[in-house]
Amino acid sequence: MTTIASFAPIVDATTEILILGSIPGIKSLEKVEYYGNKHNQFWKIICTIFNNAVVPDCYKNKVDFLLQNRIGLWDVVRNCERKGSLDIAIKNQEINDFDTFLNEHPKITTLLFNGKTAYQFFYKKYGQIKGITYYVMPSTSPANTMTFEKKLNEWSLILSHL
């Protein structure tokens, strides 16, 4: 079992929507990039919704693209033990401090959970936070066998109205 830690949040003063994963997978940890596994559909989904499928080549441009669209990224789990990349293998997790984080970023009014596990960990610790709207989205992970089109549709239904 390996101890792993999440990345720093990607956020700025204009961020209104925060997308929360559980904790990075092995490929993301190796690349030190959110959603760094080339089979994860996160970037393709986000860029299709906002930019008609043009996914930037470099990570910095992907991050800039998110921030330009008032979107931030973080993970619910600060650190944990996990063998492999699957959420089901997460053990002894410590949850990030969202009380402080959301107080420091008052424009954030919407949380999108990239998968049920992120939501379950968050909700168990924080419940429903007043003034914040939650959406549980289908995971963009390759472990989720839902079709790309169905994932895109569900993410699009929410993001196109925010």
Query: Per residue in 36-77, pLDDT tens?
Result: 999 999 999 999 998 776 799 899 999 999 999 999 999 999
> At 141, is the secondary structure helix, strand, or coil?
coil
User: Residue 18 belongs to what domain range?
Assistant: 2-159
CATH number for the domain harbouring residue 125: 3.40.470.10
pLDDT computed for residue 68 by the predictor = 94
Catalytic residue among 37, 40, 69, 96: 40
Which whole number is the average pLDDT over 135-156? 95
* Mean pLDDT of the chain, nearest integer: 94
Q: Which helix (H) or strand (E) holds 51?
A: helix 42-51
* Catalytic status, residue 79: no
CA distance 32 to 17: 22
Q: What is the dihedral of CA 152, 155, 156, 160, to 10 degrees?
A: -160
Q: How far apart are the first and last CA of the chain?
A: 39
Count structural domains, the chain.
1
Q: Say what the pTM is.
A: 0.95
